[in-house]
Structure 1
Amino acid sequence: MLRINRVKGISKTSVGDFGFDYTLMDSLNLISSKKNTRGKSSVIATIYYCLGFEEIVGGKGMKTLTSVYKNSLVDEEGVSRAVLESEAWLEISNGVDTVTIFRAGKMESRNENLISVYYSDIDSINDSDVYVEDMYIHSKYSTTSQKGFHSFLEKFIGFELPYVPTSDGKEYKLYMQVLFSSIFIEQKRGWSDLFSAMPIMKIKDAKKRVIEYILALDTLFNEKSRAKLKHDENNISTEWKLLINEVKTICARENCNIFGLPGNPKILDSDFYDSIHIKHIRNNEDLNELIEKMIDEKQKLVSKIPNIANNYEELQVELENTDREIQRFDREILKYEEEIGVEEETIFKLTENLDIIISDVQNNKDALKLKNMGSDLDVNSYKGICPTCRQPIEDSLLPSQLDGQVMSIEENISHLQSQFDMISFALSGHKEKKRELGENKRELSSKLFTLRRLAKSIRNDLFSVDEEVSESIVYRRVQLETDIQKYSSLLKDVEKKIHVLTQLSLKWKKLLENKASLPKNNFSENDNLKIRKLEEYFKKYLKAFNYNSASDLSAISISRDTYLPISEGFDMKFDSSASDNIRAIWAYTLSLLRTSNETGGNHPKIIMFDEPAQHSIVTEDVVNLFNQVNMMPGDKQVLLGITLNDTDIRQAVSLYEKDKINVIDVGVRSFKKIEVDNQIIDSFND
């Protein structure tokens, strides 16, 4: 929720300060004058400016403010006074906390994109215990950084703005000024069409995304979910096919074929592995049966009665040497494993340090950005003072007499960047060393495997059945052992791949379940309810405001594609008169607020219309607007910048109770001489 409690502007001249200070209520607020003067515009421009929404008006920065902030103002005697400096203040609340926003207008020592946030009301900003924080606006990261003002404002209001598709194929967070262009209707461009003052910021279907968020529709989530599911489906299909090809390749490498693998993703049965068959290309024999035959043949050869070989002693010496080599290789591999573990720990710590440095660099860049914008807050940590205990910070473990100067922000950024480069270089080196150690370990492991096979063969060679047949039997046993191990390894590898395939199958099943749970057209039942309510209230308000461009209001509906009003399938504006187009904007804006209030939407419960009585809107309809605002249930604050130049309108306003309508008469000029100190403004009415 967003509430504007007070709005205040000050312009300093050579003869003193001029300005205004108006208090707003939780009701209908009329920022008014008897004539169409620029006083109202100055007040409303202050609201846009302090919130960083001036792009809705049509620009950025101080140029969107009226001349009384930038150039000159006219005092009560009609004398023009040059503006030396100017300030814009806004006190806002979210229903729980209150903060005051300060943004400089014309001020040489302070950038216009620097905003100070005081965590108090306006009257208490100079209290010693009030925390104040500087932030920036209209700069990179201002919507996401901790020091970005719109990032702060989003959290303060209670928003969780979604990331939405953009015209360049990326996703950005929905901008606050885009959202509020549907809530704050600006005078010059805002009345030509619904959301006509919406800033162009690359957001695809921006109007649609705004309405989806305000009403908390599930459609954006469903649309993004559907897109993600499609992406996941493609990924699973790709992984599945690659995995099937890998299995076929490793089988073919051992002269085998595999049967029973599905070429495309599907839900696999729990006993799927039993349906897989691997056959050797020789005689098309099942691999499991082939391995069993080889084991039987090997056992028969082992069971033969051995004779002690004539070269027993030589074989014994060779076996001892081989065993020593095996032990040495085992020690070497263990050493490599320990070294790899050390490298992995170092890589983990260096990566953590890099993340910390990246965060520190960004924080320092934010601080430098605020400093360059003119922030004059005391940043104690840069002065060598602890912000918590107020004690001096020593930057050395040496005795305190050896004082050193604390680095500036610029030096700190440079130092951190140097650290980043140094650690990145070190990280790269440790990753390369880990890679080399891994290769060396793999090479040793391969040699160790060969030595162990050799040792096994020597042990087998120590016994032979007959001098004439011993050599062939030993050779056949070694060959059988090799083939058994080779085909057994193949079965294990295939089993591992099938396990991965089973996990992919579970993902596929979950994906199909998620697809089935999505509504057919992205609309949930709750969405349909909200759109029907929006349509119902829109027609109700059209009738209340005497909309007559359509003879039959039942022909008007809310498009399920754009969520905007249509008449018999076409844009309502095509058949609407200029004044009826204004009435439609009133009706739609109020309908969004009411629907959100009743269905748990995200509307900030505030509306601002600047000069809603456009294009010869009759008095009766303006009074109806007041009535409908006051009759609307739920929390709301409505600000109308309006010219009360009609006797009937003034009469209607006078009949309201004070808690129902708050009239702020800015007079001919909103900026008046501040007669007392800089905190109190004489806001007498002309």
Structure 2
Amino acid sequence: MEEIIGGKGEKTLPYAVKDYFEYDGTRISVAASEVFIEIENSQGKVVTLRRAIHDSVRDSKLIEVFSSSYLTNGEELGLAMPTYLHDAGGAKKQEGFHRFLETFLGLHLPQVPTTSGGEAKLYLQTVFAALAVEQKRGWTDYVANVPFYGIRDARTRVVEFLLGLSVFETNSKRNRLNSESVEIDSQWRQAHDELRRETASKGVSTEGVPNQPTPLFEPSQVFLKRHTGPTSVLLDEYIAQLRIEYSSLRSRSEKVEKALGVDALKEINAATEQLQELSVVHERTTSMLGMNRSSLREYETLLAETQEDLERNKTAAKLRDLGANHGVEIATGHCPTCHQHVEDTLLSESVTGPQMDLATNISYLESQSRMLQRQVVGLRETILESEARRTDLSSRLAAKHDFVNSMRGDISSGATESKAMVRRQVQIEVEVEGLQALPGLVRKILERLRALAARLAENQAARKLLPKSAYTQDDLDRISMFQKQFRANAGSFGYESAPISEVEISLDTLVPCLAQLELRAIRTDIKSDSSASDFVRLIWSYLLALQQTSSVPSLFGNHPGILLLDEPGQHSMAVDSQHALLQQLASQTSLQSIVAASFDEAEAVFIEATQGVKFQLIQWHGKLLRPLM
């Protein structure tokens, strides 16, 4: 857990255990050094851990686990189970030490949101920041020295975990639902684009398929339409028209003896006119498509600029409101020097007539943004329709061109069978075959969309079952108990900077607050100023209340039941406060407390602070590093 004090491995240790130390006036070099620690969990299982500090063979990242009581009972170490730490997978893989320790302690660390938008494990080192407090920086926050792993609001997440709040399960469900929602949206868009490509290539458009996923989607309400110039008809009706044309051509071809004479010329002229009309319509459609694409780019640029202006105006309004709340005269529209009215625009001298203030400008920009968004959506739909219509016109133009050329060939050759009619019949056969296959393909895509709509409906139903607020009633009961324990501790430790009864645990940050201000942030605008020693008393109260609340049988949280406090008597702490702390620690039957303290290096202070307290004293004279006797 050395990351809590700002480093990894042997670099966090003093030179005496890795380089040299002095004994009897002699400097002795360290050839090798290692550390053993024996731990026991709540199930009574004991293991001994061995880790190298300075060794030519073993790396400090290696921790060997022995299933024996080596230090207290002198048992043989036996076979070692090697584990590692401070490398990738150390908290997740079976061989990782932090994974082993998590399992050994009976903990189930949750997934929590990160600052990058993803999820990460609430690593054991972050939890231990609330269990082990070192002297230099540990008394600067309620949960100080949390190693940075990119966890969002890491301090709050640690407290939620130790108290056993269900917020992690709720957040995990919400995150899963959010992830599924994003997946549904992506798959819907992919299917929708595939449907557009398949239908547009054949001059067909769909009606009744929304661009975005909806639980109300119904495939039976989807219609396929084929563009025929400026209008469109249902696909089945269009196929029926093609079949009628095919039958007519077949009947005519049986009556043709020679493709000569006035009738043939009239037919060529009529087909040529149709070809010219199609060319004109195709050119207009292509031109309109280009104009719509250009307009779409312009509207998208205008929308981006409008949204940027809107954000700037909202920021300006927020700053003005904040200034007004704090009595800044310029924020209320008055010069702080001459107290005259000041316009909230930079163009007051150059613009005549009425001008919009910030609120009016924001309202106008919001309206403008909504209008531009509607324009962009409408243009995109228009472009899709135009692309399908142009595809249809291109195919019809090519078919008509081939028909005219074939008719001219028939006249010049004097054929007894019209090649133009045969060519047109072949074209109809190919087109009908392609169009008849389209509904089957469309049905498969619509079935995918229907399944996505059903998933979305289930997603939305599950989302409604989630708690409306961040915490459930059970969570609120735990926080209420935590607040009571904290207040009781602070009172017994002699906290006097603010009325204890008015101190509350914030539901936003889970730290003590007074008048919605974190207690350590209280300054001269509150009647009583928090002294440095009083803030340390709050940290005592806070860390101890976490364990007390977690050990309540009806609540039962995730606190491992251990506190390590290094020099808790900070900032000339009163002896009676230290005495109260030690009494509280000793009275908690489910808590193992390890306190390292110098008691101002005065025996009298030590005796007074420990009077009547049940504890096990570890003391020594001289230096710790010496030969074992």
Q: Same fold (TM over 0.5)?
A: yes
* Structure 2 segments unaligned to the other structure (5+ residues): 251-415, 523-528
Q: Secondary structure at the match of 2:35?
A: strand
Residues 449-476 of structure 1: per-residue CA shift (max 9 Å, x gap)? xxxxxxxxxxxxxxxxxxx999999999
1:81 Cα offset (Å) = 5.9
Alignment of 1:621-636 (within 5 A): 621-632=577-588, 635-636=590-591
- 8 Å Cα contact 1:114-1:134 kept in structure 2: yes
Alignment of 1:456-471 (within 5 A): none
1:654 Cα offset (Å) = 6.2
Task: Evaluate the alpha carbon distance shift between residue 612 and residue 297 of structure 1 in structure 2; reply closer, same or farther with a 3 A threshold.
Answer: same
User: Given residue 591 of structure 2, which amino acid in structure 1 is its aligned partner?
Assistant: K
Task: Evaluate the alpha carbon distance shift between residue 243 and residue 554 of structure 1 in structure 2; reply closer, same or farther with a 3 A threshold.
Answer: same
2:226 corresponds to 1:280: yes
Q: Secondary structure at the match of 2:618?
A: strand
Equivalent position of 1:95 in the other structure: 42
Task: Evaluate the alpha carbon distance shift between residue 253 and residue 199 of structure 1 in structure 2; reply closer, same or farther with a 3 A threshold.
Answer: closer
Residues 342-379 of structure 1: per-residue CA shift (max 9 Å, x gap)? xxxxxxxxxxxxxxxxxxxxxxxxxxxxxxxxxxxxxx
Question: Which whole-Å CA distance do the structure 1 matches of 2:11 and 2:204 have between them?
Answer: 77
Aligned with residue 519 of structure 2, among 548, 572, 591: 572
Q: Secondary structure at the match of 1:612?
A: coil
Residues 200-229 of structure 1: per-residue CA shift (max 9 Å, x gap)? 444332212222322233434544554554
2:484 corresponds to 1:536: yes
Question: Which whole-Å CA distance do the structure 1 matches of 2:440 and 2:116 have between them?
Answer: 47
Equivalent position of 2:607 in the other structure: 650
Alignment of 1:37-48 (within 5 A): none
Question: Which whole-Å CA distance do the structure 2 matches of 1:129 and 1:59 have between them?
Answer: 29
Equivalent position of 2:556 in the other structure: 600
Question: Which whole-Å CA distance do the structure 1 matches of 2:72 and 2:597 have between them?
Answer: 31
Alignment of 1:355-374 (within 5 A): none
Deviates further, 153-162 or 179-188: 153-162
Question: Which whole-Å CA distance do the structure 2 matches of 1:59 and 1:255 have between them?
Answer: 66
- 8 Å Cα contact 2:67-2:77 kept in structure 1: no
**Aligned residues: percent identity?**
31
1:594 Cα offset (Å) = 1.8
Question: Which whole-Å CA distance do the structure 1 matches of 2:146 and 2:438 have between them?
Answer: 64
2:605 corresponds to 1:637: no
Equivalent position of 2:158 in the other structure: 210
1:604 Cα offset (Å) = 1.5
Q: Secondary structure at the match of 1:662?
A: coil
> Please, what TM-score do these two structures have when normalized by structure 2?
0.62
Task: Evaluate the alpha carbon distance shift between residue 646 and residue 617 of structure 1 in structure 2; reply closer, same or farther with a 3 A threshold.
Answer: farther
Question: Which whole-Å CA distance do the structure 2 matches of 1:256 and 1:249 have between them?
Answer: 10
Aligned with residue 188 of structure 2, among 240, 246, 263: 240
Task: Evaluate the alpha carbon distance shift between residue 177 and residue 257 of structure 1 in structure 2; reply closer, same or farther with a 3 A threshold.
Answer: closer
Deviates further, 532-541 or 230-239: 230-239
2:555 corresponds to 1:555: no
Task: Evaluate the alpha carbon distance shift between residue 263 and residue 222 of structure 1 in structure 2; reply closer, same or farther with a 3 A threshold.
Answer: same
Task: Evaluate the alpha carbon distance shift between residue 503 and residue 588 of structure 1 in structure 2; reply closer, same or farther with a 3 A threshold.
Answer: same
Residues 373-418 of structure 1: per-residue CA shift (max 9 Å, x gap)? xxxxxxxxxxxxxxxxxxxxxxxxxxxxxxxxxxxxxxxxxxxxxx
Aligned length in residues: 452
User: Given residue 563 of structure 2, which amino acid in structure 1 is its aligned partner?
Assistant: I
Question: Which whole-Å CA distance do the structure 1 matches of 2:10 and 2:427 have between them?
Answer: 87
Task: Evaluate the alpha carbon distance shift between residue 655 and residue 242 of structure 1 in structure 2; reply closer, same or farther with a 3 A threshold.
Answer: closer
Question: Which whole-Å CA distance do the structure 1 matches of 2:131 and 2:547 have between them?
Answer: 9
2:145 corresponds to 1:197: yes
User: Given residue 478 of structure 2, which amino acid in structure 1 is its aligned partner?
Assistant: K
Residues 65-124 of structure 1: per-residue CA shift (max 9 Å, x gap)? 35553455566xx65562534332110122232110112334444433332221211159
- 8 Å Cα contact 1:116-1:135 kept in structure 2: yes
1:64 Cα offset (Å) = 3.4
Question: Which whole-Å CA distance do the structure 2 matches of 1:124 and 1:469 have between them?
Answer: 110
Aligned with residue 81 of structure 2, among 133, 144, 148: 133
Aligned with residue 176 of structure 1, among 96, 110, 124: 124
Q: Secondary structure at the match of 1:664?
A: coil
Task: Evaluate the alpha carbon distance shift between residue 587 and residue 238 of structure 1 in structure 2; reply closer, same or farther with a 3 A threshold.
Answer: same
1:591 Cα offset (Å) = 1.0
Aligned with residue 82 of structure 1, among 28, 34, 53: 28
Alignment of 1:308-347 (within 5 A): none
Alignment of 1:348-497 (within 5 A): 482=430, 484-497=432-445
Question: Which whole-Å CA distance do the structure 1 matches of 2:450 and 2:179 have between them?
Answer: 20
Residues 97-156 of structure 1: per-residue CA shift (max 9 Å, x gap)? 211011233444443333222121115998678321233333344333443322322222
- 8 Å Cα contact 1:619-1:646 kept in structure 2: no
Aligned with residue 155 of structure 1, among 94, 97, 103: 103
Question: Which whole-Å CA distance do the structure 2 matches of 1:586 and 1:541 have between them?
Answer: 8
- 8 Å Cα contact 2:199-2:206 kept in structure 1: yes
Alignment of 1:103-114 (within 5 A): 103-114=51-62
1:539 Cα offset (Å) = 1.0
- 8 Å Cα contact 2:181-2:459 kept in structure 1: yes
* Structure 1 segments unaligned to the other structure (5+ residues): 1-52, 303-467, 676-686
- 8 Å Cα contact 2:586-2:593 kept in structure 1: no
1:558 Cα offset (Å) = 1.7
User: Given residue 674 of structure 1, which amino acid in structure 2 is its aligned partner?
Assistant: L
Question: Which whole-Å CA distance do the structure 2 matches of 1:147 and 1:299 have between them?
Answer: 77
Equivalent position of 2:285 in the other structure: none
Task: Evaluate the alpha carbon distance shift between residue 62 and residue 235 of structure 1 in structure 2; reply closer, same or farther with a 3 A threshold.
Answer: closer
Task: Evaluate the alpha carbon distance shift between residue 636 and residue 137 of structure 1 in structure 2; reply closer, same or farther with a 3 A threshold.
Answer: same
Question: Which whole-Å CA distance do the structure 2 matches of 1:61 and 1:218 have between them?
Answer: 35
